[in-house]
Amino acid sequence: MAAPSVFVGIVGNFISILVFASPITTFLRIVKKKSTMNYEGLPYVTTLLSTSLWTYYGLLKPGGLLVVTVNGAGSVMQVVYVVLFLIYAPTKTRIKIAKLAGGLNIGMFGAVFLVTLLAFHGSLRLLITGCICAALTVGMYAAPMAAMIPNATGFILGTAQLILYSMYRNRKPTSTISKQASADLEARAPAGHAVGQLELAAGEQQKSLQRVSSLPLKRTALPRQTSLTMIVKSLSLPPYGNSNWSLDEPLGKGETY
């Protein structure tokens, strides 16, 4: 039973090394152009953390020589990739990847190493380390999706826009005023028209009054003699108004003014 497992392990290691070596062509292009272009550094940083922890796991596991060899070789390759990426990346990207590599490959790896070495013992230490390694391996294979996510999101949103456009492109625009609002406006229109007519009539009447008040008053002048005669007769009236004469009668003989 030992021979088949060793054979399968060797074949698996060979395939794993080919997987770790696949970015060689990418980094040859980076070195030639002296630029990282649009490549992401996150996959190499996460792969370095994964291979480092798997190497540690192989050292803890009895008979874990194959695990140590393949992941040790993978760790060396990932270190070369990360260093080359930091050399040829733009300044902003270089700072970002350097912080990420320091936090994951030094900080996190050191934390896992110290916690599992000091807090756990025996098979429990091996189990905890194996679970962490398995989770990081899944993350390593999912890391390249960091470059695909924006394009995938754009594809989904663009598809949704095309669907909505095809659904509504032939529809006529509808009025934004509801039927109830239109009915209210129609009901209020006559009242508003009547108020406007009343205001207009009041304005015309006020203008007419102003024109009349501005006209000059025509006074009728009485003859001087007639007015004087009327005044004298009014003064000579007897008390209680018992006089039988009128102001139109001429004065008698011997009467003086």
Q: What is the pLDDT of residues 116-160, one digit of tens each?
A: 989 888 889 999 999 998 888 876 677 666 656 666 666 677 778
Look at residue 43 in the predicted model and tell me its pLDDT. Answer: 86
Q: Which amino acid is at 91?
A: T
Q: Determine whether 226 is exposed, middle or buried from the number of CB atoms within 10 Å of its CB (0-12, 13-18, 19+).
A: exposed
Q: Is 172 helix (H, G, I), strand (E, B) or coil?
A: coil
Question: Distance (Å, rounded) from C-alpha 181 to C-alpha 161?
Answer: 32
Q: Is the pLDDT of residue 9 over 70?
A: yes
Phi, psi of 60 (to 5 degrees): -75, -35
Q: What is the pTM of this model?
A: 0.55
Report how far apart, in Å, the C-alpha atoms of 202 and of each of 123, 190, 198, 206, 209 are. Answer: 104, 18, 6, 6, 11
Q: How many CB atoms lie within 10 A of CB 71?
A: 26
Mean pLDDT of 177-195: 53
Look at residue 63 in the predicted model and tell me its pLDDT. Answer: 85
Picking from 35-49, 80-94, 111-125, 239-253, which range would have the lowest pLDDT averaged per residue?
239-253
Question: Distance (Å, rounded) from C-alpha 179 to C-alpha 185?
Answer: 10
Identify whether the C-beta of residue 45 lies closer than 8 Å to the C-beta of residue 101.
Answer: yes
How much of the chain is in helix, strand and coil states, percent to nearest 5? 75, 0, 25
Residue 114 pLDDT grade (very low, low, confident, very high; cuts 50, 70, 90)? very high
Q: Which amino acid is at 220?
A: T
Please enumerate, as own/partner, the contacts of 215-219 that have beta carbons within 8 Å and a separation of 24 or more. Answer: none
Residue 256 pLDDT grade (very low, low, confident, very high; cuts 50, 70, 90)? very low
Look at residue 156 in the predicted model and tell me its pLDDT. Answer: 79
Residue 230 pLDDT grade (very low, low, confident, very high; cuts 50, 70, 90)? low
